[in-house]
Amino acid sequence: MGLYADGYVIPVPKRKLKAYLRLARLGERVWLDHGALEYRECVGEDLDVECGIPFPRLAKIRRGETVVFSWIVYRSRAHRDRVNAKVMKDPRIGGMDFASMPFDFKRMTHGGFSVRVGG
């Protein structure tokens, strides 16, 4: 079995980006503490592209927002499930109020992917 990754595309208001990145640094510590192999959070910079569907259009970015592209890598899907179960029980994450997050959860895109090339 190969590596597995959870991937995210998240519209984030630029005025809340610092708060989002503080939350992301906490997420990195928690996921890595519980066994994730890699944790990345990337803020959109060069998004005005002519090839394909630009991330802002894909994520339906509104005025004053940017795109965050994130991924977490695991040994396998089963490993991901074990890590995420521990993360959700971790008091650093488990007690968070999702309504007060610096982004709208309903607009976040997420999925699990088997890694087929690289790694």
**Environment class of 82 (CB within 10 Å of its CB; exposed 0-12, middle 13-18, buried 19+):** middle
| Contact present, 14 and 64 (Cβ < 8 Å) | yes
Q: Please give the span between the terminal C-alpha atoms of the chain, in angstroms, as a whole number.
A: 12
For the chain, which domains are there? Answer: 4-114 (3.30.70.100)
pTM of the model: 0.92
Each residue's pLDDT tens digit in the chain (119 positions)? 689 999 999 999 999 999 999 999 999 999 999 999 999 999 999 998 888 999 989 899 999 999 999 999 999 999 999 999 999 999 998 777 777 889 988 899 999 999 999 86
Strands (E), 23-64: 38-43
